[in-house]
């Protein structure tokens, strides 16, 4: 009798240890099911959307050693040219701007992102201006020449936005941050027109002062992030009309 009990206990032990593969297998099947469900959910099979999903899925379920850590934020992946329709002019602009930023070693001062507004190139204020002035710095000219050359060979409407932090300014030339941000945007616009012959109809400039911050103005670092110029390639259907001077 003791031997029979021992055999039964060993048999139960073997059965319990071997059941783990069923859980792993079930999890794998569920992952595959989710994958194919997501693929089928695309109403229009745009290549850019599919590629973004596949890359996101692969990163999420990757089991290879040396995996990537999780970063906080709302984006599944950083914006890049391979998540834009690679047949579009916007993808080519994205790639050219990425190369420009890397070659100039300005990754900390310039960023590119996609938004409902279009393709946004965000430049820290010190990349273009000295503190509290609107005149372009000498160091900014080579950078603006390269950006202007990219704008000149595209057909997109381009909006230039000036932004400041919330520290008040009150000088004879700039009574408030409104005037400073607007003057900076206009000076960038004027440079593209005068030096790269970008049609005036394609360009616009606006100053937002301190009223569209990226982050709260509670630290020196945050205020520095909010002081910026944004160059936006607009996803507008009216670009051809603007070039022709139509209403």
Q: Which CATH superfamily is domain 81-244 in?
A: OmpA-like domain (3.30.1330.60)
Beta bridge partners of 62: none
pLDDT digits (tens, 9 = 90+) for 14-40: 555 555 677 777 777 888 777 777 666
Phi, psi of 164, deg, nearest 5: -125, 175
Residue 212 has pLDDT above 90, yes or no: yes
More confident residue, 55 or 173: 173
| pLDDT computed for residue 19 by the predictor | 58
Helix axes 89-103, 140-152, angle to 10 degrees: 160
Tell me the C-alpha distance between 243 and 247, whole Å. 11
Tell me the C-alpha distance between 175 and 239, whole Å. 35
pLDDT digits (tens, 9 = 90+) for 73-130: 444 444 544 455 555 788 899 999 999 999 999 999 999 998 888 999 999 999 999 9
| pLDDT computed for residue 41 by the predictor | 63
Confidence of residue 223 (pLDDT cuts 50, 70, 90): very high
Q: Any idea where the domains of the chain sit in the sequence?
A: 2-61, 81-244
| pLDDT computed for residue 185 by the predictor | 98
pTM: 0.66
**Average of pLDDT values for 159-184?**
96
| pLDDT computed for residue 242 by the predictor | 44
**Average of pLDDT values for 152-157?**
94
């Amino acid at each position: 009798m003791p031997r029979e009990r021992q055999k039964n206990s060993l048999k139960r032990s073997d059965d319990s240890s071997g059941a783990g593969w069923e859980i792993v297998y079930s999890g794998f099947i569920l992952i595959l099911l989710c994958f194919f469900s997501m693929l089928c959910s695309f109403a229009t099979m745009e290549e850019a959307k599919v590629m973004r999903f596949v890359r996101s899925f692969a990163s999420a379920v990757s089991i290879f050693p040396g995996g990537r850590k999780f970063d906080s934020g709302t984006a599944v992946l950083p914006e890049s040219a391979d998540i834009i329709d690679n047949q579009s002019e916007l993808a080519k602009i994205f790639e050219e701007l990425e190369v420009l930023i890397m070659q100039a070693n300005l990754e900390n001062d310039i960023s590119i992102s996609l938004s409902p507004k279009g393709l946004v190139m965000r430049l820290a204020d010190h990349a273009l201006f000295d503190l509290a002035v609107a005149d372009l710095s000498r160091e900014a000219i080579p950078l603006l020449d390269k950006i202007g050359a990219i704008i000149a060979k595209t057909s997109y409407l381009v909006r230039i936005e000036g932004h400041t932090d919330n520290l008040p300014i009150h000088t004879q030339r700039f009574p408030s941050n409104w005037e400073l941000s607007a003057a900076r945007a206009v000076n960038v616009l004027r440079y593209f027109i005068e030096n790269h012959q970008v049609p005036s109809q394609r360009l616009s400039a606006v100053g937002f002062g301190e009223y569209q911050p990226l982050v709260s103005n509670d630290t020196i670092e945050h205020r520095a992030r909010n002081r910026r110029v944004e160059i936006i390639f607009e996803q507008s259907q009216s670009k051809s009309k603007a070039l022709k001077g139509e209403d």
